[in-house]
C-alpha cells in the first residue's frame, strides 16, 4: 500500500526519562515516575507528523522485549509501522532531569547491531510503499558501514522519492556526496560539509549555497538553535527567526523540525512556509521535559508569531 511519507530509523531506541531533585554520586537516588517513549530519529519524525494531524509510516528494525514495547507505544499514538524483526534487544536511552538545576543528563546506550543485509530488508519494505518522501534521521546502527546512507540516497532516486536526511559525521558526508533533496545541518555539520573547521555567522549562507551548487542537495535548512534557521535554495537565502520560549529540553527538537518541514511539503507548502513550520515545531519541542516532543497547540501558536512578527527579527544580511 503506498505511503506518501516513510521514515527510516536504523538505530531505534526505547527512551526512558525521569526526574530527581539532585544528582549525587554514590547515593541511592529516588527518582520520579518513569516515562517511556518510542525513540530514534525517524520514529520521532513519524510521531511528530502524527501530532500535526498528518500520516506517515515508520520503518525500523526491532528486537526483543524493548522492540515489542516500542511497537506498542507507537500503536497507541496511532503511528503506522512496519518493523523488521531482528535478533537481539533494541537499545535503551535514559534521560534524567535534575530539577534543582534544570540540567538534563542523557545516557545513550549502544544500538542493536544489524547487518547490511538486514538494513537492505528495510529498503525492500520501503520500495513496496512507493513514498513521495523518504526521511532518514538518526545514527546508523552498529554493524552498518558509514556509507550506508549514501546507498539509501541512490535507492531513493531509483524509486523516485525525495530523500530528506538528518544525521551527522561521515554518514552525512557520504550521503551528501551522492546528492539529496533536503539537508538540515547545524552549524558544526555544515562546517564539516563545507570542509572547514568552523563557520562564522556571516559565512553560513555562502557555505550552504556552495553545497547546493556542488549538487549535494536541492535545499538546505541550517538549524541555528534559538536563532531559528536559515533557508537556502538556488534562488537565495532567508532567515526564519524563532520565538523566545523557556527551554526545558532540546531532546527531539531537531526531529520535530524535520517533521514540520516534511509535513509542510506534503501539504503543498512553499519552501518559505515549510521552514517556518519547521522552526515552530523545533521551538515547541524545547518547551517540554524529557522526550515528549511538542504539543500541537504550541506549534500553531508559535507559527502564528513567526508569520506575524518574524520579519521584524530577521537577520537581514548574513554576508555583512
Q: Report the catalytic residues.
A: 255
Distance from the Cα of residue 137 to its chain's centroid: 5
Residues 6+ apart with CB under 8 A from 45: 7, 56, 135, 137, 255, 258, 259, 262
The 3-state DSSP composition of the chain as helix, strand, coil percent (nearest 5) reads 40, 20, 35
Under DSSP, the state recorded for 242 is: P
* Helix/strand/coil (H/E/C) assignment for every residue in 86-113: CCCCCEEEEEEEECCCCEEEEEECCCCC
Rounded to a whole number of angstroms, the distance between the first and last alpha carbons of the chain is 50
Cα dihedral angle (41, 43, 44, 49), rounded to 10 degrees?
130
Q: Cell for 283? A: 521551538
How are beta strands 133-137 and 103-108 bridged, if at all?
Answer: unpaired
Phi, psi dihedrals of residue 243, rounded to the nearest 5°: -65, 150
Q: Which residues pair with 93 in a beta bridge?
A: 15, 108
Amino acid at each position: 500500500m503506498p505511503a506518501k511519507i516513510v521514515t527510516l530509523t536504523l538505530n531505534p531506541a526505547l527512551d526512558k526519562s525521569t526526574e530527581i531533585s539532585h544528582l549525587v554520586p554514590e547515593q541511592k537516588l529516588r527518582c520520579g515516575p518513569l516515562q517511556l517513549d518510542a525513540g530514534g530519529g525517524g520514529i520521532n519524525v513519524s510521531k511528530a507528523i502524527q501530532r500535526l494531524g498528518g500520516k506517515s509510516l515508520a520503518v525500523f528494525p526491532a528486537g526483543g522485549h524493548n522492540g515489542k514495547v516500542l511497537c506498542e507505544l507507537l500503536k497507541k499514538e496511532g503511528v503506522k509501522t512496519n518493523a523488521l524483526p531482528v535478533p537481539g534487544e533494541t537499545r535503551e536511552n535514559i534521560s534524567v532531569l535534575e530539577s534543582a538545576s534544570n540540567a538534563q543528563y542523557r545516557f545513550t546506550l549502544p544500538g542493536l547491531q544489524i547487518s547490511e543485509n538486514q538494513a537492505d530488508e528495510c529498503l525492500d519494505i520501503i520500495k513496496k510503499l512507493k513514498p513521495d518522501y523518504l526521511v532518514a534521521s538518526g545514527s546508523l546502527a552498529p554493524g552498518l558501514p558509514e556509507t550506508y546512507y549514501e546507498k539509501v540516497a541512490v535507492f531513493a532516486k531509483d524509486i523516485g522519492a525525495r530523500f530528506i536526511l538528518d544525521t551527522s559525521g561521515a554518514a552525512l558526508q557520504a550521503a551528501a556526496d551522492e546528492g539529496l533533496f533536503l539537508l538540515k545541518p547545524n552549524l558544526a555539520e555544515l562546517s564539516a560539509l563545507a570542509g572547514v573547521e568552523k563557520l562564522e555567522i556571516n559565512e553560513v549562507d555562502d557555505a550552504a549555497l556552495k553545497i547546493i551548487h556542488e549538487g549535494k542537495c536541492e535545499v538546505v535548512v541550517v538549524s541555528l538553535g534559538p536563532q531559528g534557521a536559515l533557508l537556502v535554495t538556488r534562488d537565495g537565502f532567508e532567515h526564519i527567526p524563532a520565538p523566545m520560549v523557556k527551554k526545558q529540553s532540546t531532546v527531539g527538537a531537531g526531529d520535530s523540525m524535520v517533521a514540520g518541514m516534511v509535513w509542510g511539503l506534503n501539504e503543498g507548502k512553499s519552501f518559505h512556509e515549510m521552514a517556518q513550520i519547521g522552526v515552530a515545531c523545533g521551538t515547541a519541542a524545547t518547551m517540554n521535559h524529557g522526550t515528549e516532543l511538542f504539543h500541537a497547540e504550541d506549534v500553531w501558536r508559535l507559527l502564528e508569531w513567526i508569520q506575524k512578527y518574524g520579519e521584524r527579527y530577521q537577520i537581514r544580511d548574513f554576508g555583512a
